[in-house]
Structure 1
Amino acid sequence: MNDNAKLKQQPGCHREIISLNQVCYAYESKPVLSNVNFTVRERDFVGLIGSNGAGKTTLLKMIVGLLRPQSGGISLFGTPASQFKDWNLIGYVPQRNHFNPLFPATVREVVQSGLYGRRKLFRRVTKEDVNRCEDALHTLRIQDLADKRIGALSGGQQQRVFLARALINNPKLLILDEPLSGIDIETQTNFFNLIRHMHQHHNITFLMVSHDMEMVRSYLGETPKEKSGKLNFYVRHSHDLEDCVETDLLHSLRKEG
């Protein structure tokens, strides 16, 4: 049974989506994360706040499999991260400044790549894939940029592309690393309305790094639920199901954008 089926069969269990157990990481013997413990449950919205150098991005990279803990353990959907295979359940928007502006891909190619799991990079593109990609381009209002190279876009345009890529596969967990950085105020507002709608009405869990304390407090509250080292975890639950009649996340973009 796959994870999607398990989630549907257990709507009220508030299962663990991410489990961090004594996670440690260091760069050249300089500790960045020391004994980090935290649990993200189904339909949580977690805001991760910390000073520069606190290890926020490093932690996200470990969660999405780009780095491995040097000690301690991470589990995803109840499976140790080292054994986790269902990466299609996770959408990830990295910091824009980690992106190579010379990467030779068009906007359409970048968005469409979000449909492919790590073991499906070379699978054949279906008509459904093409239609879903076009829908994502349209709803994020980047359809006129589809054939442009991603490196030729402005910062705000690039973030729209990365958001479309992360959402195109209807993830169960959306991980966002400073998603509002370099985006104009109108786009920030639309994006915030979008993720608030998805959190309240869809079976999706959020983990977001942000320096925008006003935004974090407006939705997640004034006080962090937990602290671990230099990291502060702000949490808002949405465990009472208020499911939207539409299960496709792109519907939310059309509605809120």
Structure 2
Amino acid sequence: MDQVNAGCHRSIVSIDDVFFFYENKKVIEKLNFSVLERDFVGLIGSNGAGKTTLLKMIVGLLKPTQGEIRLFGEPVSSFRDWERIGYVPQKNAFNPLFPATVREVVMSGLYGKKRMFRRMSKADQQKCEDALYVMRIEDLADRRIGQLSGGQQQRVFLARALINNPELLILDEPTVGIDAETQAGFFRMIRHMHQHHHITFIMVSHDMDMVQSYIGSEPVQKSGTLSFYVKHTHAPENCSETNLTHSIQQLREQIEVLS
């Protein structure tokens, strides 16, 4: 079900008659939903409503029992342009002995298959430094990822997802384990990104205050106990800069003023 005329704004995610069963238990039933370019979609639901399951199907980690999901018009099964998507799962399980520093993990968000064997430019390195600063992990840059707490790791994976300037950003409880000040800064940044840049958001959150304050108090659609809240930003951008680094640097400047 498209919320506005799809002829004006392309569909980023199309969910058509999707069912998902887990060990014969029906988790999602006949779900139809479209996420349009520059939508901000908030998913709210009780435990077991299928929020994380839906996100995993969108990024190809799970396959629908029935129905089809398309990304940028292409079936997920044949989609290959994953660098266009940033994804932060609810929990990241890393081997504590994994030999990578925080900086290396964040920088890896820039690689992709097309850039895997290229040297990182000074501009790439600055993007990394900005992302580290905004997530307030610059002092952890040289530590091994496995040495960090769960909340610290979540900040690292947020920075990694943001650095690649994705067209679609999928966030599953992105601020779990993060302190209130960093949460507030993160939400300021993604609001700016949504309002002024060509980025589409899908976010799972239990923070009803945040959802209602920005996306609205009434869902546009319900499926079982899963509710979809949508805020459209289909007007032209009013920032001369369109790169994600602009949003990160704006927040960096705000932090410096408040410090």
Taking structure 2 as the reference length, the TM-score comes to: 0.88
Q: Deviations over 1:168-189 (max 9, x none)?
A: 1110100000011111111111
Match of 1:123 among 80, 105, 117: 117
Q: Deviations over 1:1-51 (max 9, x none)?
A: xxxxxxxxxxx9311000001111122111211111110000000000111
Alignment correspondent of 1:14 = 9
Secondary structure at 2:153's aligned position in 1?
helix
Secondary structure at 1:211's aligned position in 2?
coil
Report which stretch shifted further, 196-205 or 78-87.
Answer: 78-87
Structure 2: stretches of 5+ with no match in the other structure: 1-6, 253-259
Alignment correspondent of 1:218 = 213
Could you tell me how far apart the structure 2 residues matched to 1:63 and 1:103 are? 30
Secondary structure at 2:55's aligned position in 1?
helix
Shift of 1:131: 4.3
Secondary structure at 1:207's aligned position in 2?
strand
Alpha-carbon contact 1:203-1:243 (below 8 Å) kept: no
Task: Give the 4+ runs in structure 1 shifted more than 6 A.
Answer: none
Residue 251 (structure 1) aligned with residue 246 (structure 2): yes
Aligned partner letter, 2:201: F
Aligned partner letter, 2:62: L
Alignment correspondent of 1:3 = none
Report which stretch shifted further, 243-252 or 79-88.
Answer: 243-252
Report which stretch shifted further, 226-235 or 142-151.
Answer: 142-151
Could you tell me how far apart the structure 2 residues matched to 1:30 and 1:213 are? 28
Aligned partner letter, 1:99: A
Alignment correspondent of 2:4 = none
Alpha-carbon contact 1:36-1:229 (below 8 Å) kept: no
Alpha-carbon contact 1:140-1:253 (below 8 Å) kept: no
Secondary structure at 2:117's aligned position in 1?
coil
Alignment correspondent of 1:161 = 156
Q: Deviations over 1:137-163 (max 9, x none)?
A: 234332221111112223332222111
Secondary structure at 1:181's aligned position in 2?
coil
Secondary structure at 2:53's aligned position in 1?
helix
Secondary structure at 1:190's aligned position in 2?
helix
Alignment correspondent of 2:257 = none
User: Which runs of structure 2 are paired with 1:165-244 in the superposition (5 Å)?
Assistant: 165-244=160-239
Aligned partner letter, 1:127: S
Residue 38 (structure 1) aligned with residue 33 (structure 2): yes
User: Which runs of structure 2 are paired with 1:79-98 in the superposition (5 Å)?
Assistant: 79-96=74-91, 98=92
State the superposition RMSD in angstroms. 1.8
Taking structure 1 as the reference length, the TM-score comes to: 0.88
Shift of 1:103: 5.5
Match of 1:64 among 59, 77, 96: 59
Report which stretch shifted further, 133-142 or 63-72.
Answer: 133-142
Shift of 1:92: 0.5
Alignment correspondent of 1:99 = 93
Secondary structure at 1:214's aligned position in 2?
helix
How many equivalent residue pairs?
Answer: 244
Secondary structure at 1:247's aligned position in 2?
coil
Aligned partner letter, 1:201: H
